[in-house]
Amino acid sequence: MIACSHSDRDGLHAASVSIEKHDYPARSFSDLDFFYDDVDALEYATTWGRIWIEMNVRFRVPSHAAGDR
């Protein structure tokens, strides 16, 4: 996950995030929201990205050996 912020001509900072997982296409989300401060934009993008991952990425459950059942 890569969170970033860029300022626009109005002086606001846009929060954006790119999420990549091996063997899956990258997902990019631009201009999620706008902030007066670069740090606030980065924090928002990071939090937003983590929530998106938790809601959309399925983690593999390790399979147990036949004797463990």
CB 18 within 8 A of CB 28: yes
Question: What is the model's pTM?
Answer: 0.78
With respect to residue 66, please indicate whether it lies within any of the assigned structural domains: no
With respect to residue 54, please indicate whether it lies within any of the assigned structural domains: yes
Confidence of residue 62 (pLDDT cuts 50, 70, 90): low
With respect to residue 55, please indicate whether it lies within any of the assigned structural domains: yes
pLDDT of amino acid 9: 84
d(CA 26, CA 60) in angstroms, rounded, equals 19
pLDDT of amino acid 23: 84
Q: What is the pLDDT of residues 37-49, one digit of tens each?
A: 999 999 999 999 9
Q: For residue 47, what are the CA distances in angstroms to 10, 33, 50?
A: 24, 12, 5
Structurally, the chain folds into a number of domains equal to 1
> Whole domain around residue 36: which residue ranges?
2-61
Mean pLDDT for all residues in the chain: 88
